[in-house]
Structure 1
Amino acid sequence: MDDLSAFVAGLPKCELHVHLEGTLEPELKLALAERNGVDIGQRTVEEVRATYRFDSLSSFLAVYYPAMDVLVTEQDFYDLARAYLERAAAQNVRYVEAFFDPQVHMNRGVPFEAVVRGYHRAVQDADRDLGVAGALIMCIVRDLPAESAAQALEAALPFKDLILGLGLDSDERGNPPVKFAEVFARAREEGLHLTMHCDVDQENSIEHIRQALEDIRVERLDHGTNVVEDPRLVRFVRERGIGLTCCPISNRFVTGDMKADLIARLLREGVRVTANSDDPAYFGGYVAENLVELARAAELTRSELVQLERNAFEIAWLPDDRRARYLAELESYAAG
């Protein structure tokens, strides 16, 4: 292990952009398919891994959503989240806010309760057993109708004590943030935190970022690096302390460019950018690998790597006392 990898390995980390369904490793996918009698068309790990190939957001989603068919019972969702959290703990992730996509499962006849209780149980057990704490962010699938989003939120409200926030993901083309303005307004009224994906290099990227920031009034942007195209919006996010949950390795898969220079530029301009893993089973890198590859590509210093994690803990939706403990741990590591 080289010095950079060793430093990153020990760095206390906070992950704010990971999709639990995107942590479905081939081995677990096969095991769940066999458990639930689901024919996925593959019989070996190598065959499954061969399907994890794509060169755009749409080609990724064409693989991503059908893979979820193997998730059927509450125990399946528990096992998926537990496997991710074990990997996170091994990479010294101290706190995670993880996305999940209930509409996809509900549309297959899986009750919302089975999804959220399975994931929540895993989060609770990981806090107790692994030393990694976490929370759940329910995502709206933006290429489904707004009515479907509203129905999903209504299904979630009886379990809102298990959910920290509401997000927006999936195919951005023709699905601007304002399509879901009423749903997000309702979520705010119910006390949920708000974030939205503004994916890299999408059609109408800047207008979508503007809508998310000014019309929906999100607290964070997921991805969001196209903000550099509008100096006014860069000032907006910097002055208001709005965080960007960037994902370098997945950027490279869906755009051909890690956007390392843009992430580093925003970091150095005082924007609260962070580095995260997105869908690590598909993109081949968890949070530590993202930090290492970003650092190498952008020639980040150790102090800048620490700042990325400081940003993450500062923009996490944490109680102040817990945030202070994590930041103290980070500063102690940086000083050592």
Structure 2
Amino acid sequence: MTTPPCAELHLHLEGTLEPDLVFALAERNKIELDYRDPDELRAAKEFTDLQSFLDLYYSCMQVLRTEEDFADLTRAYLRRAREAGVWHAEIMVDPQAHMVRGVPLPTVIEGVGGALAESEREFGISTGLIAAFLRDRPAAEALEVLDDLLVMDAPLLGIGLDSAEVGYPPSLFTHVYDRARSAGLHLIAHAGEEGPAEYVREALDLLGVERIDHGIRSMDDPDLVQRLVREQVPLTGCPLSNVRLRAVPSLAEHPLPAMLAAGLLVTINSDDPAYFGGYVDDNYAAIAEQFGLGRDQLAALAENSVRASFASEARKTELLGEVETWRVG
């Protein structure tokens, strides 16, 4: 069974940096890596928690130096996403992770943005760019970067909040989100992956987010679940990521079936596919096999992804038609 046409809403561009590309960019930029070859790097991708992943993630990121590097990374993801059945992608980029390495902000945005501007023509994928801020860095820094992005008129769809969650509640970033809201940007945030259900509440009440990234810990709070169902707040689920980062013990124990049974608006995404062993099609295939999901159920998840996206209403109508064609195909 192939993957239905879908939108990918939880995707970190830096998390699509495959080992072969890491080594190619390292050679281009004359950077010496800690690994002998791509296979040794692949073998290092056994994580015990979120932090162990982030350590490797930031280490590999050092090869991204030029506008060309960021454009090549973006096109590589889009090419693979098209194979995976993605028709619309809202892509997160971490500007601070590059700026702290001395990479100028315009280099990042122009490299990624230039490739995204050609995405629909080259790959048939409509796109949006989301600047995600690192919650384990000062909120004042995030606000400064956001202001820089606005001054340079970066082609932003919205902002997000990611990186290490525990100990960094959404409440730290209220001013950043107030500024983004006043600029007319869409608002999302990671919450309830490793952090508690209360972080989901904070993201909704204090940041005013329109969509929650992950949100699996919401299931610990029945009142919150009722609210999410009532308000149909989208949750961008990443099943394979949750397993690889030990947020759940195994795919069999993932709360996805319970979330769907409760009426939550869940979508399926890949998060950081180069690190977690699967792009969005791999995630759909894994849950189909694990939970016995048929064509109708997978199509319903794809419909959720389209409705939860920030695509135009015309684009949503077009994509929902593609999903329906797949459903009856």
Question: Same fold by TM (over 0.5)?
Answer: yes
**Where does 1:65-80 land on structure 2 (aligned, <5 Å)?**
65-80=58-73
Residue 182 of structure 1 is matched in structure 2 by 175
Verify the 8 A CA contact 1:98 1:135 in the aligned structure 2: yes
Query: How many matched pairs?
Result: 327
Structure 2: which 5+ runs fail to align?
Answer: none
Verify the 8 A CA contact 2:212 2:236 in the aligned structure 1: yes
Verify the 8 A CA contact 2:47 2:244 in the aligned structure 1: yes
Deviation of the 1:335 alpha carbon: 1.9
Deviation of the 1:260 alpha carbon: 5.9
Distance in structure 2 (CA, Å) of the matches to 1:263 and 1:160: 38
Residue 3 of structure 1 is matched in structure 2 by none
Structure 1: which 5+ runs fail to align?
Answer: 1-5
Q: 1:311 is paired with a residue of what secondary structure?
A: helix
> Given the alignment of the two structures, is residue 106 of structure 1 paired with residue 103 of structure 2, yes or no?
no
Distance in structure 1 (CA, Å) of the matches to 2:229 and 2:272: 27
**Where does 1:156-235 land on structure 2 (aligned, <5 Å)?**
156-200=149-193, 202-203=194-195, 205-235=196-226
> Given the alignment of the two structures, is residue 323 of structure 1 paired with residue 304 of structure 2, yes or no?
no
Residue 301 of structure 1 is matched in structure 2 by 294
Q: Could you report, residue by residue, the CA deviation over 1:194-223 in whole angstroms, capped at 9, with x for unpaired residues?
A: 1110142x24x1111110112211100000
RMSD: 1.4
Deviation of the 1:299 alpha carbon: 2.1
Q: 1:218 is paired with a residue of what secondary structure?
A: coil
Verify the 8 A CA contact 2:15 2:274 in the aligned structure 1: yes
Distance in structure 1 (CA, Å) of the matches to 2:284 and 2:153: 32
Deviation of the 1:51 alpha carbon: 2.4
> Given the alignment of the two structures, is residue 7 of structure 1 paired with residue 5 of structure 2, yes or no?
no
Verify the 8 A CA contact 1:248 1:259 in the aligned structure 2: no
**Where does 1:49-88 land on structure 2 (aligned, <5 Å)?**
49-88=42-81
**Structure 2-normalised TM-score?**
0.96
Percent identity for Structure 1 against Structure 2: 42
Q: Could you report, residue by residue, the CA deviation over 1:269-306 in whole angstroms, capped at 9, with x for unpaired residues?
A: 22110110000001110000001111222222221111
**Structure 1-normalised TM-score?**
0.94
Deviation of the 1:334 alpha carbon: 0.9
Verify the 8 A CA contact 2:252 2:290 in the aligned structure 1: no
**Where does 1:240-319 land on structure 2 (aligned, <5 Å)?**
240-255=231-246, 256-258=249-251, 261-319=254-312
Residue 145 of structure 1 is matched in structure 2 by 138
Deviation of the 1:180 alpha carbon: 0.5
Letter in 2 for 1:180: F
Distance in structure 1 (CA, Å) of the matches to 2:230 and 2:35: 50
Q: Decide which structure has greater helix share.
A: 1
Q: Could you report, residue by residue, the CA deviation over 1:136-178 in whole angstroms, capped at 9, with x for unpaired residues?
A: 1110000001111111111211344511010000001210000
